């Protein structure tokens, strides 16, 4: 099995577990932005190191915290729609 194809089952497992929450493609680049939901830095480290493509990846980790205004807030959605 190729390294790239081997990534799929592992990513699907992480998604089922709720650890791999989102992935977006960076426009104009061969890269992604991924959101992982983990309890510890060590857990994230283990997940990333077990990615089949990890040896070829340039990984940058940015910790995130929940925003005080929930994503479902109507005012936020209206503002976002107006900006887009």
CATH number of residue 34's parent domain = 3.30.70.1060
Tell me the per-residue pLDDT of 6-30, one tens digit each, with 9 for 90 and over.
678 999 999 999 999 999 999 999 8
Least confident of 4-8, 32-36, 64-68: 4-8
- Which domain, by its residues, includes 52? 3-83
Nearest CA-CA partner of 34 in 53, 61, 13, 12: 61
How many domains does the chain contain in total? Answer: 1
pLDDT grade for 80, boundaries at 50, 70 and 90: very low
The answer to pTM > 0.85 is no
Name the one residue in this structure whose structure tokens are 């857990």.
43
pLDDT grade for 71, boundaries at 50, 70 and 90: low
**In sequence order, what are the residues at sequence separation of 6 or more whose Cβ sits closer than 8 angstroms to the Cβ of residue 11?**
20
């Amino acid at each position: 099995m190729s390294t790239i194809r081997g990534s799929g089952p592992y990513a699907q497992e992480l998604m089922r577990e709720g650890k791999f929450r989102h992935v977006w493609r960076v426009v104009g680049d061969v890269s992604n932005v991924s959101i992982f939901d983990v309890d510890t830095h060590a857990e994230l480290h283990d997940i990333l190191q077990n990615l089949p493509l990890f040896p070829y990846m340039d990984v940058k980790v940015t910790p995130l915290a929940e925003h005080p205004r929930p994503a479902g807030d109507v005012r936020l959605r209206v503002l976002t729609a107006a900006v887009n």
